[in-house]
Amino acid sequence: MNRHLQRLSATALTLLLLLASIAYVVVPTPAQAEPAPTGPYRIGTGFTPPANQVPDEFEVLSAGFWPNELTWNKDTEEISWGTLVYDWDEIEFIFQLMSAQPANDYLVGTIEHVLTRWYKWQVIPKNAAAWAGMSAGARAKKWRGWLNNYASNTSNAYQGTGFEILVGEKQGYKAQGFEHDTKVSGDNKVRPDWGLRTGAENYSHLVEAKSGNWDIDEIRSRYELAVETGATKLDVYFLKPPTQKGITGLEELAAEYPGIESRFFVYPATPKRVVNPNTYKDPPDESGSGAAPPSGPGPTSPPGSLVAGGQNGADSPSTDAFSNSPDSPEEAAEAQEMTEQLARDNGYASPEDAEMTTDQLGGVDFSTLELRYVSDTYDGGVGAGVDYAYSVDAAEGVETAYGGRESAQLAADAFFTWLALPTDTFWVNLNPDEPDRIIDKEFGTTDAGRVLLEADLGMKKIVADFIHPDTETGAEYWERLRGETKCISMRQWIVPKTAVVKDGGDELFILDAPLEVKMEGEYLESKGVGGTAGCSGQATADTEFNEDVYADMILPKVEKAVNTAPEFADLRRVYASRVAAEWYRLRSETKTTAYSDIIGSGDVSAWPARKDWDPKDVFDAYVESYENGEFNVERRTRQGDYIVTTTYIYGGVTFFDVPSRSVDEGRFAAEHPNLGTAVGESMLSPTVEDGAAEVWLGGRSTERPLWDPLPMPASPLGNPFFWALSTLPVAAWLAVGVFLWRRPARPVQAPYAGVTGPVTR
Amino acid sequence: MSAAVPFGPPPPQRPRGVFAAAYLLAGSGAFWLAAAIATLFAIPQYERHHSDLAQDPSAGVGVTLLLILFATGAFAAAGTAVLLAVFDAKGRPAARVMTWILGGLAVGVALALLLLDPFTATAWHRGLMIGASVLTLVSTSVVIVLLGSRSSGGYFRGVRWARMAAARAAYAARYRPVPQYPQAPPGWTVHNPPPAPPVNLPQPFAPRPPGPPHRPPSGPPPTESGWGRPG
C-alpha cells in the first residue's frame, strides 16, 4: 500500500507540473503595458512621469546649406559651395547687393547671408589685423569655426521654432487663438512663444517652449513678462526633462509669483530635419560620434561622446557642454556677438527670444576633465550600450569654461584607441640610442600616442626646473652630489600606479588613477653635452650615490608634477581613459558588449590624431636638447671655461598594465555616499556630488536611438510558462529519484521468469 | 494464472554504483532537456542581438537556425540518455558501451561550450548554459567512472551470464522432450520408443542447432516406428 502511495504521489507531482504548464497556455497572458501615448506630461510635486513613452516628432527646417558643404580653399582662399566658387570680389559684390533686398538684408540661413556676414566680420579692423597675421592653416580653421558658430545658432533657432509650433498645434493653443511669436507691442519687442492677447499690450495666458538648455533666469523673465502684460497663466514646456533640482527651482520660482497660475510640462519629441532643397549634400550625421564614425572625426560629431561602431549617441549634457565650449575667451566673445547679430537679423530682441542661446558651461575647469565613470548597459539587443561620465573640477568665478571640446575629444578618442590596439603597443621611448624605437607605428597615428611621447619629453624638461642651481632644491641637490663632474645618468619612465576603483560588475567608478615615475641608473652610448657617454669619467660609487640623491630629492617632485601639474593634464586624461578601457576590455572577455568588435582590432583609423604630429619631431627635439644641453643642466664647476653637463635622462611611458584595486561596497558608500546619484543624474544635466568639488557630465550611447519604436523581445524570465516548462524535466527526474529511493527493494528475479514463448538471446 | 517459474540462476544484485550512474545519467538528460527548452525561449533575444550587431533585420535567421539545431540535438541526447539509463540499470553491456560513447561526446560538448562561451549575448541564458555544462561535466564524468568500476563490470558480466544461462535453460525447457511423454494407451504396443532426453545442455557459444520443431503426428501412427494398434 505504501509503495502504491509513493508511486501515486510522484505521478501526481509530475502531472501537477504538467497541468500548470498547460493551464498557463490556456489562460491568456496579460498584455504587456502599452507605451504611454505621445504628448506632454506635467512635472513637479505630485506628478509622476509616464514610463515607456514614445516621443512625438516635429519638423525642423534647415538652413540652405550644410556646414560641411561650404569648403575653404587654403591656397586661393575661395569658398566653394557645390559647383559655385566665391572669391573675395564676389563676396564683396554680394555684400553690396544686400541693400537691394526687400528687408535690406538677406534671409538668415541663405548662402548670401553667410557670405555677407563673413564679409562684415572680415572688414572689422581688429579681425582684419588678426586675419593678416594668420597662417593658411589658421585661416582655414578660423573659417571652419566661424561657420560652425553660424550654423549652430541658426540650427538652434530652427529647432526652437519647430518645437514651439508642435506645442502650439498639439496642445490646441493655436486653435484657441493664441498668437505665435509676435511682438508684445511696437515698443516692447519681446516675443512670447504663444500668447492669448487681451489688449494692445496685454495677455491673459502665456506659453513658453524651451527646446534646448535653459536657466532659471530665462523662465523668470517670462514670469516678469506675465506680470508686465497682465497674464495670469503661464505654461512652460521643456523638450528635455529637467533634473529634480531643476524642478525644485521651478517650483520655488512659481511660489514667488502667487498671482500667476503656472504649469510645467515635459514634451518628449524628436526633431526631424527637413532638408532644404538648396543643399547639395545629404545632411551630416548628427547621431553623434565624438569618437568618430568610420569616416573619421567630422566637424559635426559631438565631442566626447563614447559612440562608435553603429551605436547612437543619446542627447546628453556632456556633448552639449563640450560642443558649446569655446577654445578661448576671444572665441566666446565672438560667438556671443554673432548670436546677437543673428537674433537681430531674424527680428528678435534677444538671442533668448530667438531661441539662439548656446548655453556654455561655467564654473568648471575643463583642463581637469577625465573619464571617471563607465557602465556597460549592453545586454543583447535591449537597446543600450555604454553610459559614461566625465568629472571636471569646479572652478569658482569662471563664467565660461574653455577647452572642453578638445579635452573631451582626447578622452573619448583615447578610450577607443586603448580598446582597439593590443596592450603591448602602449609604450613610448625617448632614448638617443634607439632612434628606431620611439613608438609603435599604429599608436603613433593617434593623439594618445602623441600625448604619451610629449609627456615623456615634458618629464625630462621638468627635471631641469627642479635641479636648476638657482632654486633652493636645485642648490641643495648639487651640493649633495659627489664626483668631480657630479654626473648622473639614468633611465626614468612613467608607469601606472595602482588605481583605486569601485567595480560594480557592470559599472566602474574610477576614484583615483595615479601615475608613478620610476628610475634606474643606466649608461648611454651616445655622447651628451659633456662629450662623454653616460658618466664614464666618474667612479661608479659616486654615480650610484648621485642616483640615490636624485631618487631622494628630485624623483618625488617629478612624480608629483606628473600627477598634478597642468603640463601633464593630457597624460592624466588619457590614462583615466586607459583605466576605463581596460575594465571594458576585461568585461568584454566575459560577455558581449557594445564595442566587442573594436577590442583588439588593431584598427585605429577611426580615431586619428586631431593634431598634425610626427613622432620623429618629438624625438629630434629630445636629441637636440640632449646633445645641446637645452634641458640638461649645465653648471660651471670650475672657474674658467670648463662646463660640464651632468644629467642625462631618458626613459619613456608605458601603459602595458593597469593595476587597480576595487574598494568594497561599505567603504564606497561611506566615502562617496552621493557619487552614484550624482553620476546617474549627470546623464540629464551637469551635476555636483554633494560635498565634492567635481562636476559630472554624463552621456550615453545606445544601440538604437532612444525613440526607436521597434519593440524589444521580452525576456522569458518573466514568463511563468518558461519556468514551468524548463524546470519540468528536472522536477520529474527528482520525483523519480525520490520514488526509487523510498521504494522497498524488490527480490532479485531471474531473467525470463514466466516466459512461455520462444526465447532468444 | 500460473506463477512465473524462473529459468536459470538469478542475476547478481545491482550495485549501488550502477544505480547511481543510471540515475545521474537520467539527470543529465533532464538538464539537457531543460537547457533545450530554455534555448528555444532565448531565440528571440539572440535573433535581435545579431540583427542589431549586423544592423540587418535578417541577420538573425542564421543564429536562429543554429539554436534550433542545438536544441534538437539536446532533445535527442536527453532521450538517448534516459533510455541508456534504463538499460544500464538493467545491466545491458551494450548500453554501458553506448553510455561511454555518449558520455564522451557530452563531455566534449560541455568543454567546448565552456571554452568557447558562445552564449554571451544573453546573460541569463549564458548563465544557464554554463551551469548545465558544468553539471554535465561533473555528472557525466561520474557516470563514466562508476560504470567502469570493478563492481559495475562484475554486475554487467553477471547479468550477461545469467541472461545467457537463463536463455539456455529456457531454450532447453522449451525444446526438451517433456518427461510426461504420452504413453501408449493400454493395449497398444510401442515398437520404436522416442529417443531419450539429452543429458547435457547446449554449450555456451556453441549451441546445438535447433532441430525441427516437434509436431504431433497428424496421420495414423507409422507402422515401423512409434506406436500402433496391437495387432
| Contact at CB, B30 and A751, closer than 8 angstroms | no
pLDDT of residue A707: 46
Interface test with B, best of A733, A734, A741 (most B CBs within 10 A): A733
At B30-59, the pLDDT tens digits run 999 999 999 999 998 888 778 766 656 667
Residue listed under C-alpha cell 548500453: B95
- Highest mean pLDDT pick, A25-29, A93-97, A647-651: A93-97
Give A730→chain B minimum CA distance, Å. 5
Closest CA to A632 of A534, A522, A549: A534
Give A706→chain B minimum CA distance, Å. 14
Question: At residue B204, does pLDDT exceed 80?
Answer: no
- A contacts of B12 (beta carbons < 8 Å): 748
pLDDT of residue A360: 63
Question: At residue A472, does pLDDT exceed 50?
Answer: yes
At B157-200, the pLDDT tens digits run 988 888 888 888 777 776 765 555 566 677 777 666 666 655 55
Task: Please list, in sequence order, all residues whose beta carbon lies within 8 angstroms of the beta carbon of residue A755, skipping any fewer than 6 positions away.
Answer: B7, B170
φ, ψ of residue A219 in degrees (nearest 5): -70, -40
Q: Find the CB nearest B163 among A717, A737, A751.
A: A751
For residues A634 and A726, what is the distance between their CA atoms, to the nearest angstrom?
Answer: 79
pLDDT of residue B27: 94
Closest CA to B87 of B18, B164, B170: B18
pLDDT classification of A640: cutoffs 50, 70, 90:
very low
Residue listed under C-alpha cell 498557463: A24
Question: At residue B216, does pLDDT exceed 70?
Answer: no
The verdict on B213 touching A (C-beta cutoff 8 Å) is no
Q: Which residue of B has its CA nearest to A595?
A: B53
Q: Find the CB nearest B164 among A310, A725, A761.
A: A761
Question: At residue A534, does pLDDT exceed 70?
Answer: no
Give A26→chain B minimum CA distance, Å. 18
pLDDT of residue B78: 95
For residues A681 and A697, what is the distance between their CA atoms, to the nearest angstrom?
Answer: 9
Higher pLDDT, A61 or B77: B77
| Contact at CB, A752 and B121, closer than 8 angstroms | no
pLDDT of residue A158: 83
pLDDT of residue A704: 59
pLDDT of residue A160: 86
Higher pLDDT, A482 or A369: A369
- A contacts of B9 (beta carbons < 8 Å): 750
Question: At residue B17, does pLDDT exceed 50?
Answer: yes
φ, ψ of residue A234 in degrees (nearest 5): -140, 120
Q: Which residue of A has its CA nearest to B38?
A: A726
Question: At residue A54, does pLDDT exceed 60?
Answer: yes
For residues A713 and A383, what is the distance between their CA atoms, to the nearest angstrom?
Answer: 10
pLDDT classification of B147: cutoffs 50, 70, 90:
very high
| Contact at CB, B126 and A761, closer than 8 angstroms | no
Give A383→chain B minimum CA distance, Å. 9
First-to-last alpha carbon distance for chain A, in angstroms, is: 36
Question: At residue A697, does pLDDT exceed 60?
Answer: yes
Give B194→chain A minimum CA distance, Å. 23
pLDDT of residue B29: 95
Question: At residue A750, does pLDDT exceed 70?
Answer: no
pLDDT of residue A299: 33
- B contacts of A754 (beta carbons < 8 Å): 3-5
Q: Which residue of A has its CA nearest to B33?
A: A729
Q: Find the CB nearest A730 among B6, B34, B163.
A: B34
For residues A231 and A219, what is the distance between their CA atoms, to the nearest angstrom?
Answer: 15
pLDDT classification of A32: cutoffs 50, 70, 90:
very low
pLDDT of residue A291: 35
Q: Which residue of B has its CA nearest to A594?
A: B53
Closest CA to A54 of A34, A41, A33, A35: A35
pLDDT of residue B219: 59
Q: Find the CB nearest B45 among A715, A722, A725.
A: A715
At A180-217, the pLDDT tens digits run 988 888 777 788 899 999 988 899 999 999 887 777 88
pLDDT of residue A719: 86
pLDDT of residue A322: 83
Question: At residue A759, does pLDDT exceed 80?
Answer: no
| Contact at CB, A729 and B126, closer than 8 angstroms | no
Q: Find the CB nearest B123 among A379, A713, A749.
A: A379
- B contacts of A729 (beta carbons < 8 Å): 29-31, 33-34, 37, 78
- A contacts of B122 (beta carbons < 8 Å): 379-380
| Single-letter amino acid code for the residue at A643 | I
Question: At residue A614, does pLDDT exceed 60?
Answer: yes
For residues A432 and A624, what is the distance between their CA atoms, to the nearest angstrom?
Answer: 10
**Which pTM value belongs to this model?**
0.58
| Contact at CB, B4 and A727, closer than 8 angstroms | no
Closest CA to A655 of A733, A553, A749, A575: A575
At A251-265, the pLDDT tens digits run 999 999 999 999 999
Helices (H), A535-633: 540-553, 555-564, 569-590, 615-628
At A284-316, the pLDDT tens digits run 444 333 333 333 333 334 778 888 877 777 767
Interface test with A, best of B13, B120, B175 (most A CBs within 10 A): B120
Give B167→chain A minimum CA distance, Å. 6
- B contacts of A746 (beta carbons < 8 Å): none
Cβ distance A473 to A553 under 8 Å? yes
- Residue A490: strand, helix, or coil: strand
| Contact at CB, A716 and B120, closer than 8 angstroms | no
pLDDT classification of B229: cutoffs 50, 70, 90:
very low
Q: What is the ipTM of this complex?
A: 0.72
Question: At residue A107, does pLDDT exceed 70?
Answer: yes
pLDDT of residue A601: 92
- B contacts of A725 (beta carbons < 8 Å): 37
Give B82→chain A minimum CA distance, Å. 10
H or E element, residue A19: helix A2-26
pLDDT above 70 coverage of chain A, percent: 79
Interface test with A, best of B51, B52, B115 (most A CBs within 10 A): B52
| Contact at CB, B124 and A717, closer than 8 angstroms | yes
Lowest mean pLDDT among A693-697, B54-58, B105-109: B54-58
Q: How many CB atoms lie within 10 A of CB A754?
A: 13
Q: For all residues of chain A together, what is the average pLDDT?
A: 80
Higher pLDDT, A83 or B226: A83
